[in-house]
Structures are given as C-alpha cells and as structure tokens.
Chain A
C-alpha cells in the first residue's frame, strides 16, 4: 500500500475541505472498500479523511412515514432498526443478504453505495481494465465473465454492480443528501449510479470532495409488503448471480402498484421499469409475472458464460412476486 496521511475529523465541512484540497484525498468510512483497494494498489489515496465521527449515523423517522438514514449508520444497525424492518423490510433483508456479520458491523450505508465493483480484472492491477485504467481495454469481455452483467453493459465494461442495499434503495426511489464544497444537494438514487458507456471510470455522480450525508426513504405504503430475493453460488457471504427487490399491491386481483429492481445482472442497480409498466393493471399471477420478466430481460446483452442469467433473473422476478402475492385472494 502506498504511504498515506490520515485525518479523523468531527465536522463534515472540514472533512470535505480536506479531501477536496488534496490531490489524492479520499473519504474513509468503514474501510471495507477503501483499505482493501488501497492495499491492492487499485486505489492510491494520499490522504484518507476518516468521517466516521463527522456524518450522522441515526435512523430518523420522518412525518408521513419516510425515514432518513445517516450515511455513517452501519449496515448491521440499519438492518435491525425497527422502523426499517416495519416500513421497508426489503431494505433490512437486502442488508442482511450482503457480506458477513463482521463486514456489516464495519461498512457504512454511504460507503456501501460507493463501493467498487468486484470484477477480478478491476482488482488485478496487472489486467486490462477501462474502469481502473481508462483506455487500457477490458479483460473481462472475453475472459472469465460468468458473474458479469447482462444489462446496461457497454463495449468498455461489463462489471456487475455489487451492492444488495442499492437494489432495494433503487426500487424505493431513495434520495441521497450530499455536501460538497460550497453547499449540498439531493440526488435521486437512480440518477446517482451511472452506466459505464464510454466512461466506465465514473460510477456515480459524486464530485471530488462530495460526501453522502444521508439516505432518505420516501414514504411508500407498498413497501410494507416487500421482499429481497438473492440467488448465489453459495448460501451465504457471496455476491448475487441475480437478485430482486420487489414490492407489490394487488387490489381485487389486479396489480395496482409495483416496484421492481434487479441486482447481480446490471452494471448499475437495475430498476425494472419495463416489467413494472407491463404489470400495472394486469391480473396478478404467474402469467403476468413471467411476461413482465420476459419484457425486462429482452434487453439483455449476455456473453456466452453468463447467458444463464437471462433465464435466472426472469425466474427470480416471478419467484419474488409469487412470494409477495401467495397470501392474496386472487
């Protein structure tokens, strides 16, 4: 690991000024990405500014049923927050489906959204990677890419976005609150994550020195009945091959409201808007679920090794929706 400086500050604006003012400055929260990638030489921070004491870590209940989660809240704490469990079970389930107990104790909510991809070629400084070294090529394109993305891919990058949490948040239209030199702003989470396109090195919209301070979950009655289904190569402590965050409201047998997002298959957490549009107003049941899944995955661009994900993701969508509606009178 490159030698680096370190500062632990208790004030967000001071942290922002420090990072923005250093040519290789970066924030340090839980460290599960930053320390890992710095040791691998993938990131080369010259200054790490520890913001664990700076940004908020509470879960605040908002009027009307929403929640505001401090960006320094730990994954483990948010997963067991009674308000999160009751109002947004899909968020709690997604958090508990990710990483391990130790990592969830360390990793912050804000850091989770900024975590880097797990593509083995990105993590290996000896391999071509347009994300790590723009213009160097993509070793994954014709390499070992069984776990890579099939949605949102470009000819520069097919790395899968790794976060489970982000999939749930995208389904729920979460809003990120940030601070940066000169002020703050809000960013809708679906706008926050960027497709690789021709600039795979840019994964999100944060400026240099911009820090997520809170994640707001807008009130959503439909989310009280929500689920996160994660399919993976082993039962625990593994990234998704395909995952689904789903919430649905069925009125008199007809789908009146639905939220669907996919993980493990996209270069960003994938809001399944085609599937949602297909489902609205239809009779809830396997036929409409399968048709919606088919329409969403029709836009997939698989490679030979990960072509199985096209079918797997469709089955996951159907299973998740069946799980949510199995108790309903059809």
Chain B
C-alpha cells in the first residue's frame, strides 16, 4: 500500500500530505543556543526579588483583597450585607469622632498590654532557665506539654466562675493562652546559643550567672522579640474571646454590640482596626528587634 502510494506520488509529497492532515502534537519549543537553562528573574526559587517587583507585587496583593471586597459589597443583598470600603471608612471616622473608638481601643490595649507583658515576663524567665538548664527542662517540659494542649478558650467559663466578670479573667485568659507558647519558644531561642560561645566565656573567667546574664540573654534578645511578635497574634485571639463573652468596653465587645443593631459597617470597621493594630505592632516589634540588636540583622 505504502509502496504503491510512493510509486504513485513520490515520498516527499506523501510526507507533506500526511503533515497537512495530522497537525503536530505540540509546537516545538525553540531551544535557545547555549548550555544550561535560563531562569526568569521573577520566578527563581528563594532568590532576591528586585525592589520594584517586590513593591509592585505587594501592591497587587492588597489591590486583590480590595477588589474582592468591592466585588462582594457590590453583590451584597438580603441577609449577607457587605458594606463598601467607603461605608466602612465612614464607620471608622464616626467611631473615632464620637470618642468611642478611643475608649474601646484603650480598654483592649490595657488588657492585652498587661496580660501579654505578664506572659512575656514569665516566658522569658522560665524559658531562659528551661533552655539553659536541662534540670529545669526535665522538670518543666512534661507539665507544659500537657497544659499547652488544653485550649485556653475552654477555660473561659471556669475563669468567669472563679474571677467574676471584671478585668482579671480577661487578663488571665490572655496570659494562659500565650504563656506556654512563649516559654517553649523562648527556650528554643536560648538553646540556639552556640555551645562554644558559652564554653569560651567560662575560659574567660565568667561564672554561670554571668554567662546567663551577659552571654545567653543578649544573644537571645532578638529571638525573644521575634517570639513576642509571633505569639502576639494568639494574644489578640484570647482578647477577642474574653471580650465577646463579658465586657462593657473593647474592640471585640463593640463587634458584639454592632451585631445586635445590625451595624455591619461598624463590625467591619472594628475588624479593620484589628488588622491595622496587628500590622502596626508587627512592624513596631520588627523595628525594635533591629534597633536593639543591629548585629542580628540579616
């Protein structure tokens, strides 16, 4: 058959005829001359991104969130009311000018300020000892491993029962919800102090207390600030839980109030405030870390 065809039209024409009917499966990619594979600068794995790209992509990410929000608010109807960014902004402005935002803000900040400060202080002392002394580690690790897995939020009813509905159960909840993470993570930071640094300090005449104070503590400082920054999110979570249940003031309390009066814009306003506070505290702690430990800057 093939032989017949060949004799009838000639080989080249036969190939051309087949090619015309059967399209190539995939267009052949032109391989650039030279060895190796070129990589596009934007999609290199774990590579530095040029600054314009970084800024541009960050802007695009934020714009994406805003676009979804706008799209959702445009479609909002019936039960699912999504206020527009403009309405939300108006609600923020109203809350600010009425002074309500300020009092809610200071109430919430007071709680998390005290609670988280206590949590970090305990975390620093216990974590420092746990990371430096294996005897403390042995004594403390098992109970903390157990307590850590009790969700702090599950303690809320108990705290309300024991401590009433004042400030103390709220502050306590913030402490309990973060302190175990702080202890364990500070201990990890302390364990990262190089053994040789400790050894060399002994050979320079430092005693154990001096090594703790003048070597382990300063070496751990930037890491401890990072721990504070990362676990602060858990602190906010605990604050919200505490305020949702029983409070007369506070940012999360305002959300519950707004729900009663169907003020979705006020709810959104408070969520935005939470987000802004979170980002601001994150940036502030990053700045603090670089300010107190310029040597650890990457």
Do these two chains really belong together in a complex?
no
Report which B residues bind A (CB closer than 8 A): none
